[in-house]
Structure 1
Amino acid sequence: MSWESLPVELHITIFTILLEDYNREDLSAFAFTTVSRKWQDFFEPIFFRRNNARFTRAVCKLLDILARGNHTPYDQGITLQLSAHSPSDYRHKYRDFRMGDKYPYITKEDLVDKGEFHRKHRDLSIKYVQDTHPEVVSHQYMAYQPPEMDRFRSTEPLRFDFRKPLFRWSDIVPGSVDTQRVLPKVNIVKALVIRRQFYRNISSDALAKLLRGSFLCLETLRDERWLASNYFSKRLCSPENVIDALPAKLQRLHIYQDADSDFSLPRVHSMASAESMRKFATLSGLKELSIAPDTDGWGFLVDFLPIVRRPLDTLPVFKLRRLALDCATLREPEVSFEKLVLVRTLRAAAAAASRMPRLETMELWRATPSSATLFRYSTKNLESKITWRINWKHARGDQLWQGKLRKD
């Protein structure tokens, strides 16, 4: 007998009993979603959006505490690491061994065969599910499918939500989201780090609000948010949406938006973010910039390509000292055109370096499961050095240093 086949009077009776039983501390509101598909469709958005209210309260409380140190004579400031996760994220299905409390550190011996290390611990986690939850069928501890990825990582990235709760179990009220509340300024935070420790993402709008309202003295930003599991969330977490909110005092910007084969969309390189960061670098006192691997650093060099290059004295000047870009064009050329693109990319890098009078190190790199490429330009005590490392199967790297490239 299904829920839909029951009379309306019985629906109301069951619902009333559940509401009365919910006053018990040992009953989770998520039990409502197991009654039927209709209940699941109704309650799940409420529970997922409740995370925004919890995130908002936690961050605001943290900011209030940190703001008490605004007048503390501590010139170096502090580094704040910000992340979010739910303990129940990986209790009900396949337990990724990398997220377990007892996950061991990778030793030097493990690195000899990282694939075997991964398979070993994956098998252990599968065995754990089979031993402790024999009712779980095989597909539930294998790789996630798109709907399961959304459920695991939440339908949307976390954002600020200052609304008052309508129900004790909802934490939200109908209507538009009020995100205009002024956050306290926190002068003591000089570095903000969002590591890849957990899979729950924080939206770029929330991060931008923190940068505009609280972290005005920020000097370092390291953004390592995971690539989203759906295209809607990917837009909400785009690093490009944070560029306009970066504080004027920022000196170091590191962006590493990685993908996980089980929990992320297929990687599609974009140049838009790199172009936006190049424009920001010309207008600020940025000293260090690294972009990888979802953003194609080729967008940073586009104005310096020989085919579109203006006279060097008309190109922008950067204050950068260290620059690292992941360039999709740095791969083993299979046809003559790809070799031409690779050479022009390196020439564009040389032209860009000439507009960075304080440059100490520039790195262009590309890594795939089968190959790796590294181009590094460094200078110290007025002496310049170029490092070129590849592990290509067929093409010889020294062939690139012929002709005009050698002259540049």
Structure 2
Amino acid sequence: MARRGRSRGRGRGRGRSYPSRKPEKEQEQQLSSHASWEIMPLELREMVPEYLEDSIQSGKAKASVYASVCKEWYDYFEPYIFRRLTLSIERLNELEAMITGSRQLFVQHIWLRFERSVQPGVTPIKFRHEMDTLRFRATIFQLFQILSEWPERVAGQPGIALELTAFSAADPDYSMKDTIPDELKDVDLTIDSETLNAIYEKTPSNRRTLTDHERRQQSELREFYDPQSHLALLPVRLPTVGLITDLAMRRQMHISFFTNYIKLIMNSLPNLEFLTYEPRALQPFSRDNFEAAREIITKIPSSIRRLQMFEDSPSLYVDGTYLIRVNDNGGSLGRLLADISQDKEPEVISMSFIIDAVDFFSDFRTPQISRPHWKLGWLNLTSLVLTSAVITPERKDEIPSLLIAAARAARHMPKLEIMELYYVSRNHGGIFTYVHDSTGSILWWDSTWEWEFSPNVISMWKRAANVHGAKLFEHEESLIQLKGDDGMGWDGTILSLLRTRTTVVHPITYGNMMNGQIFM
């Protein structure tokens, strides 16, 4: 544009003529007028912002920078400026003042960072659980009240994703408070991008063990890991918010803070489509997480499309000292999920270490189905990911029965595209995968010990593949190679091998795991 402007300044007389020298300020003004945005052809003006959108979504540039170029650019990039909001208690009042009119329609993601109360400068740390309860009650009520008054969105407009995290001023740097992998900072996680997809292709890093000082810090903050219940202070109800369609409570040291609020929050979100909940279990069979998971399952609305839970147990991270367990010891939660999910008809179910796949498929252990025939099946389910303690070398004789029951259930999933059953324990891991697409269906088995599909398992899954319309059916077994002398443990190895890893945990959680940040 600048070169074109200079060429027009040449004289038209015989021979070469040169423009007279003008003051520098006047030259800059003339160059600016020639290079203005308005003189560009309309086709180019439409292409430039579209090209810049990728840099915004990948976190390489900020929409506010582009919006400052000119009014036309501001009008174009304004929706990107207000698409993702980060709120604290102090900034919650600004939400009503700044997000007005059409800006309310631009908001697609709200990250509420709740700061918990500790008395500064006191050793040992003084926790203020009652104050936390009061402050969070007021905060979440105010947020829901504001959002309940925003205008409804027309068909085709995306809803709002609400992400909840909690932290405190006493949290150490190594904690998972709000740690975000460098690769995902400022990246729009709601939209596919090269940056987001690249995080799932990373090779798992080695685990970093805590120093003695860090272990002492962890011990001092242990009260923050456990849910503190003050029922007298809990709100009776929250305002109903139809705009929130996505709720995420990702893995962090304070995740248990939200356990007592899950029922209240779920009751106020009638249009919820996506749910991510990653509770931390500090001991086997944690009743707090079990009850929270039960509340979620019983409260999911018919609008649900993806249900994603991952119980993050410290025993996942030791060097084979403890056996990994599934929280649902009696199996009632697994059977409840199987029943309710057939009524709600989600598209994706991913439940890791919360329930056992054996219980989820309990109605299909034998060919004679005991349940009513008028309601049996998952009509919209395309992806199913579960864990099972059966998938261990100690219980390998039980694996065929599990896979046969899963195949019988798969025949009642007409849209199924992928099913993965996996587990990790005592330096061992195993994954069963069924994939169906336009080319056919295939079974995979990957484990740290030798194992092969039995003829009965192959026969039953071939029948399931026929229901799905497969013209080609194959199966394959392979060994997972251990990393070094430390064995399997949990350094992200199994998770990185899952084909469904994008729906097992939150992208930030996955990135932290791959970076070796697996401590509390």
TM-score, normalised via structure 1 length = 0.66
Q: What is aligned with 1:224?
A: 278
Separation in structure 2 between the aligned mates of residue 231 and residue 389 of structure 1, nearest angstrom: 28
Which residue of structure 2 lines up, in the alignment, with residue 79 of structure 1? 161
2:133 to 52, 61, 77: 52
- Percent identity at matched positions? 19
Identify the residue that residue 365 of structure 1 maps to in structure 2.
Answer: 422
| Alignment partners' CA distance in 1, 2:274 and 2:137 | 23
> Take 2:367 and 2:122, find their aligned partners in 1: how far apart are those partners?
62
Q: Deviations over 1:101-151 (max 9, x none)?
A: 69756999x976733x624xx4xxx4xxxxxxxxxxx5x532678x74632
Shift of 1:211: 1.4
Q: 1:312 to 1:144 in 2, by over 3 A?
A: farther
- Distance in structure 2 (CA, Å) of the matches to 1:376 and 1:263: 24
The verdict on how the C-alpha distance between 1:273 and 1:102 changes in structure 2, with shifts beyond 3 A counting, is closer
Match of 1:407 in 2: 459
Change (3 A) 1:263 1:218: same
Post-superposition shift, 1:275?
1.6
Unaligned 5+ residue runs, structure 1?
1-27, 35-39, 127-137, 162-175
Between Structure 1 and Structure 2, how many residues are aligned? Answer: 321
Q: Counterpart amino acid of 1:201?
A: S
Inter-CA distance 218–112: structure 2 relative to 1 (3 Å threshold): closer
Q: Secondary structure at the match of 1:372?
A: strand
1:89 aligns with 2:171: yes
**Which structure is larger by alpha-carbon Rg, 1 or 2?**
2
Is contact 1:379-1:385 (8 Å) kept?
yes
In structure 2, stretches of 5+ residues that fail to align are 1-117, 185-197, 461-520
Deviates more, 1:296-305 or 1:364-373: 364-373
Displacement of 1:346 in angstroms is 0.7
Which amino acid is 1:194 matched to? M
Match of 1:346 among 403, 409, 412: 403
* 2:205 aligned partner: 114
Q: Deviations over 1:176-195 (max 9, x none)?
A: 34531x32121111111111
The 3 A distance-change label for structure 1 pair 266 and 344 is: closer
Q: Which amino acid aligns with 2:295?
A: N
Relative CO higher for 1 or 2, CA cutoff 8 Å, sep ≥ 6? Answer: 2
* Matches of 2:253 and 2:145, distance apart in 1: 24
Partner AA of 2:457 in structure 1: L
Distance across 2 between alignment mates of 1:205 and 1:156: 7
Q: Give the one of 295, 305, 309 matched to 1:255.
A: 309
* Cα displacement (A) at 1:32: 7.7
Q: Name the CA distance, whole Å, in 2 between partners of 1:59 and 1:66.
A: 11
Q: Are the counterparts in 1 of residues 176 and 252 from structure 2 also a CA contact under 8 Å? A: no
Residue 55 of structure 1 aligns to which amino acid in structure 2? F
Q: CA deviation at 1:367?
A: 3.0
Give a deviation string over 1:33-58, Cα, whole Å, max 9, x none.
Answer: 86xxxxx9xx85xx222111111122
Residues 262 and 58 (structure 1), Cα distance of their counterparts in 2 relative to 1, 3 Å cut = farther
Task: Determine helix, strand or coil for the equivalent of 2:309.
Answer: strand
Q: Which amino acid aligns with 2:214?
A: Y
TM-score by length of structure 2 reads 0.53
Q: In the aligned structure 2, how far is the partner of 1:272 from the partner of 1:222?
A: 21
Map residues 30-69 of structure 1 onto 2, 5 A cutoff.
Answer: 47-69=128-150
Give the structure 2 partner of residue 4 of structure 1: none
CA distance in structure 2 between the partners assigned to 1:62 and 1:311 by the alignment: 43
Secondary structure of 1:276 counterpart:
helix
In the other structure, the counterpart of 2:346 is: 286
Cα shift at 1:89? 3.0
For 2:286 and 2:142, the matched residues in 1 are separated by 29
1:321 Cα offset (Å) = 1.9
